[in-house]
């Protein structure tokens, strides 16, 4: 089966998604297929890798774990049955503290932290669709990185809605109440880019 063989107007579930074996990477957003952009560029990969590495190193010997794409995050609304899950995302990086949420196929349920590094080709999907999905699903913190502008935003879930931080830039340090003691120095992070 090829991606071109699928009806892009149809609603698909994780049961469908799990059977697909075509080369293109896709995500399901509320049952709709979204083709992921081609291989991310150098700066995208460097930033995602550095964030993941910093989180992974901090989380050694702790119950929370960091994961890097490709890693399926299934966000159920009603039941955890594959046929009832219509949103499957592959965030660039995520942190899951509830060990019952990860299994051999990825994560089922909202991660505690999701990180998306924007690429010019995915800005609309990230900023509109995923923001709403992560908020509705109960992701506690949604970090968005804008490589071109060297800006970092933290969206904190407060009473079911995201409250967005002021834009953070080189010289700022990202912290989170989810991981007491964790710091991400944005000057060091953005200095890694070419």
CA distances from 129 to 109, 122, 123, 124, 167 (A): 17, 11, 10, 8, 20
Paired tokens of 137: 């699903």
Q: What is the pLDDT of residue 24?
A: 83
Taking the model in full, what pTM does it have?
0.92
Q: Confirm whether 179 is domain-assigned.
A: yes
CA distances from 19 to 9, 52, 83, 186 (A): 18, 28, 12, 40
pLDDT digits (tens, 9 = 90+) for 11-66: 999 999 999 988 888 899 999 998 876 667 889 999 999 999 999 999 998 999 99
Confidence band for 123, pLDDT divided at 50, 70 and 90: low
Q: Confirm whether 27 is domain-assigned.
A: no
For residue 63, what are the domain limits?
41-191
Q: Confirm whether 4 is domain-assigned.
A: no
Residue 125 pLDDT more than 90?
no
Q: Confirm whether 29 is domain-assigned.
A: no
- By C-alpha distance, which of 59, 53, 28, 50 is closest to 125? 28
Tell me the CATH number at 168.
3.90.1570.10
CA distances from 72 to 26, 89, 98 (A): 10, 6, 16
Q: Confirm whether 66 is domain-assigned.
A: yes
Q: Confirm whether 17 is domain-assigned.
A: no
Q: Confirm whether 176 is domain-assigned.
A: yes
Number of domains in the chain: 1
Supply the mean pLDDT for the chain: 92
- Residues in contact with 59: Cβ distance below 8 Å, sequence separation at least 6, in sequence order: 65, 66, 95, 179
Q: Confirm whether 108 is domain-assigned.
A: yes
Q: What is the dihedral of CA 99, 102, 104, 108, to 10 degrees?
A: 150
Distance CA(40)–CA(67), nearest Å, equals: 17
Residue 94 pLDDT more than 70?
yes
């Amino acid at each position: 089966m090829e991606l071109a063989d699928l009806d892009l107007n149809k609603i698909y579930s994780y049961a469908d998604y799990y059977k697909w074996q075509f080369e293109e990477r896709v995500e399901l957003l509320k049952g709709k297929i979204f083709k992921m952009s081609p291989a991310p560029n150098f700066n995208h990969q460097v930033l995602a890798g550095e964030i993941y590495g910093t989180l992974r190193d901090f989380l050694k010997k702790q119950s929370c774990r960091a994961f890097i794409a490709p890693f399926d995050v299934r966000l159920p609304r009603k039941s955890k049955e594959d046929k009832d899950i219509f949103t499957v995302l592959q965030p660039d990086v995520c942190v899951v503290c509830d060990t019952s949420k990860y299994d051999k196929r990825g994560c089922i349920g909202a991660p505690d932290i999701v990180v998306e590094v924007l690429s010019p080709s995915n800005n609309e999907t990230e900023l509109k669709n995923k923001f709403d999905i992560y908020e509705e699903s109960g992701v506690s913190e949604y970090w968005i990185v804008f490589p071109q502008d060297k800006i970092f935003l933290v969206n904190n879930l407060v009473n079911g809605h995201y409250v967005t931080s002021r834009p953070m830039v080189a010289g700022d340090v990202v912290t989170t109440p989810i991981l007491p003691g964790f710091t991400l120095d944005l000057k060091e992070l953005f200095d890694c880019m070419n």
